[in-house]
Structure 1
């Protein structure tokens, strides 16, 4: 990030250089002290120059912004975000988020990384510099995240950490999955040791963690975690010395559960922040972004000033970026929200880097995406898929099969159930009566022959057709679920030919298609255009019979091996507990 000289910051904060603009007449929510009091704010360039009585900072060319009767808060910080999962490019996601007051996000840009490597990350960071939203980048602890390792376009290890931890854009180690620490993974431990030497914070990922796991992570230096499935788990992490990020995403709704650490268990709120992790754009436009989380926390019983601290200074402090963002204080970026009141927290105007960027839920300038280089447009190298490609080989007339089962009560979690399924022409077939469908993963990088593997899945409820996506963390191979093998082949081949996207196919016809031409995972659509496309895709999936809260929201995470109990990757079905590929054919009872 661009840094002004110390002399320039001192000149601005002493009033030697007059302010470019002054926000006058508002009540300042001081997140450093927890106070609310009348104060004006002087802004010079992209930084806060002074607060309070700033009349001495005004010059003949200073713009005066009237905030009479309103409240001033810092810009909001999303503490853990895979912005690529929005399917929007950096520019377009920024357009969606800043209108609701989110001016900074912490991200590993890991999906760009696994597809396009370090140059892809650099392009994304340059794009953010030209947007009203800052990205504080954490170098992913490794890629691929999967155990065992799946096929990705770019692998990231200790050598890459030795380079990138020295970048001025690197603010820590991102998403350190607990299993790699528990396994004493040599490469991961080397990356963490580098971070300790470089005094960089380590960000964790430990869903449903046992006490011994929490202890081990804290001992390894993991500073914070965003993956608590219960308030008790969240409290245990706080007690072990970690900071807590409460996640409220489009699919994983944990605010009301985990905020109990503060409202019921009495934990100090100053080590608690917020994150969204993954958001559907349609949900942002309907409900807001981080501002929604502030309102939810207040409704749950958190004092308004504390809720605002959680969305600003708390997050900045746990990531050690509070010298740059998180408060309206001299030298920090001039990210200032004008809101109606702390209690209702409706964002009316948004200043980012000192400029007015949004008013009344709309950005003041239309977003302009940059020209895309070939780095972010790699060709898909999937071997052509036919109906005969899809299937699990078996003998006899029926087979006992381990079927991956979606848990409809706990987001993302997949269990396993054994089902007896028909075998026709030596291949296990779907059984719609049992909701046993095909699921495939097609390797897109050509490193593993562009092959397609097949398993069986329960819970999607499709009565016909297929749905598929090339945006699928953690490796962004093409994942497809379907009731009909021919429709699945059409879906996978269409995505490969078009350079990525999401698609719904039925009866040999493309019913809905969302192109994702940037790295095969995001698009330069406006938020409104993306929301419309998401709604059409979900409606088309429901027309096929899917009753999950979000067909594509659940589909894209099937490849993540860090979520219990089973995942499906280009290697096959992976057992979370044993961390190996399992044979899904089971012995048939005599």
Structure 2
């Protein structure tokens, strides 16, 4: 038998028993052929690698992630993630779809990459309904039907419209789920499940959704897993308490690790490999952590040709110099070496070409000082207002009330040490402007602006003084999207994302450094969160608890109703958002 490659004397990961054994592995083409402790002298071998002292594990598989969260393109993402041992991903490109619809999704899917990129059907474009937010594109039944014909599409992406899924039989998301069940009866239906339990959880799961990747808490993990949910742990859910639940109940087959969102600056230092090691540091045995980043996710997505080192499986694997430190010596994709330790990123010689209009997609008015006044019709000197309070951990927010003075028939929002949060429709469809007030989100005078605003990606700007708000918004329009941070009218940092306002084709080192400066500038302003970028970007996500802002206004995300900025019995805001 002629074989292309033999890995000799490595400690091979044994998926069925979750341990290591010293063996030799033969590879033919892009598949594993023979795994044995025999010397393989009977084979005709083209190349042999002596791996004495090294550990060999399957390539890592990330089944829930968004390439756009790294703010880069599929080809650049592939080259970067491979160096961290990630050989297969299931991408939910709902950010691209929210901006450009099915056309944008097809642009993403057409990109040539070394890693295998499978796709989820974006189920939430928009994340709620057109009545609650304006998006550039929509994915409806016709688009879903077309996507279901593509073999690269292997699951329904995170369904997150709680009300539509649980209580509205005729909602678009329920129709999408029904279509998927009809055309692909065994296809996984992925869920983004809010803080619901008991009967509400049952109401949601009756739809057929069977996974959850949101923020997990140990007191509810048992309930969720017993309810049939497959748990996908992202970084913020990898805690000692959650891992203790998994270990205590040996729930290794009922969960896996994912990245969901890896920012461009974090991408400079790792990807799914970091989550694997974090799980180990939180008490999970490393053998089980490997199982939950290789075989378990492959089985969840019915990727039965990969996820273990065995005959007939795709020859995706990692050689480790040190198992406990997870030091990667080399990465192989389909039997070919794609990364060697200390090798720089091998960027594609020819970058992807996007349509010209993708670079001129941010279309909205320039803000003026007059736009930042908040006139209110009232006879009172003080009025009560609904105000957003963000939390320092995670992406949760809550509604509080504040009493504001009214001076010259305008809300004295600056005197109350509040900031304005403005979301502007940017697709040239209706010119909507949604407004809210936030309770001291920053400590210094300044503003933050972005078009990377989940999931609609309208233009969002927040600040506590007019000059900085205007400066940030104007800079964002000039860049055609990205992130900008301003302090006292001066730009501290910016990260251009000119492709649809969400992506860049800059080298990942350059992009990551720019975003890192944005993060540091946000910290300089006093914006506090464990992930400043994600926290700010989800202030506009109308399916994330508990109060967020779209171009239609300030919204209770569970009930999907809008809060008035001023309590109706106290007054009426004159230029409320157009609906």
> Which TM-score applies when normalising by structure 1?
0.89
- Is residue 324 of structure 1 aligned with residue 305 of structure 2? yes
For the residue of structure 2 that corresponds to 1:295, the secondary structure is helix
Equivalent in the alignment of 2:245: 261
Matches within 5 A, 1:129-528: 130-146=112-128, 148-177=131-160, 178-186=162-170, 187-197=172-182, 198-199=184-185, 200-248=187-235, 252-264=236-248, 266-286=249-269, 288-321=270-303, 323-360=304-341, 362-363=343-344, 365-368=346-349, 369-374=351-356, 376-395=358-377, 397-408=381-392, 410-431=393-414, 435-449=417-431, 451-528=432-509
Unaligned 5+ runs, structure 2: 572-579
Unaligned 5+ runs, structure 1: 1-14
Which shifted more, 323-332 or 186-195? 323-332
Equivalent in the alignment of 1:94: 78
Q: 1:124 to 1:22 in 2, by over 3 A?
A: farther
Q: 1:371 to 1:589 in 2, by over 3 A?
A: closer
Equivalent in the alignment of 2:40: 55
- 2:450/2:481 contact within 8 Å kept: yes
- 1:255/1:293 contact within 8 Å kept: no
Whole-angstrom distance in 2 between the partners of 1:179 and 1:22: 54
Residue 503 of structure 1: how far off its partner (Å): 0.6
**Aligned pair count?**
562
Q: 1:49 to 1:448 in 2, by over 3 A?
A: farther
Equivalent in the alignment of 1:4: none
Residue 56 of structure 1: how far off its partner (Å): 7.1
Residue 363 of structure 1: how far off its partner (Å): 4.7
- Is residue 85 of structure 1 aligned with residue 69 of structure 2? yes
Residue 353 of structure 1: how far off its partner (Å): 2.7
Q: 1:569 to 1:584 in 2, by over 3 A?
A: same
Which shifted more, 51-60 or 210-219? 51-60
For the residue of structure 2 that corresponds to 1:392, the secondary structure is coil
Whole-angstrom distance in 2 between the partners of 1:202 and 1:362: 38
- 2:256/2:296 contact within 8 Å kept: yes
Residue 111 of structure 1: how far off its partner (Å): 0.5
Cα deviation 1:17-68 (Å, max 9, x = unaligned): x3332222211102234242223333333333333358379546x2222222
- 1:144/1:155 contact within 8 Å kept: yes
Q: 1:364 to 1:544 in 2, by over 3 A?
A: closer
For the residue of structure 1 that corresponds to 2:211, the secondary structure is strand
Q: 1:307 to 1:544 in 2, by over 3 A?
A: closer
- 2:84/2:328 contact within 8 Å kept: yes
Cα deviation 1:261-284 (Å, max 9, x = unaligned): 2124x1421121001211223334
Which shifted more, 83-92 or 474-483? 83-92
Residue 424 of structure 1: how far off its partner (Å): 4.1
Q: 1:254 to 1:297 in 2, by over 3 A?
A: closer
- 1:209/1:233 contact within 8 Å kept: no
Residue 587 of structure 1: how far off its partner (Å): 5.7
Q: Give 2:511's match in structure 1, choosing from 500, 519, 530.
A: 530
Which shifted more, 520-529 or 501-510? 501-510
- 2:543/2:558 contact within 8 Å kept: no
For the residue of structure 2 that corresponds to 1:27, the secondary structure is strand
Residue 588 of structure 1: how far off its partner (Å): 7.2
Whole-angstrom distance in 2 between the partners of 1:589 and 1:381: 35
What's the RMSD between the two structures over aligned residues? Answer: 2.4
Which shifted more, 310-319 or 396-405? 396-405
- 1:270/1:310 contact within 8 Å kept: yes
- 1:228/1:258 contact within 8 Å kept: no
> Which TM-score applies when normalising by structure 2?
0.91
Residue 362 of structure 1: how far off its partner (Å): 4.1
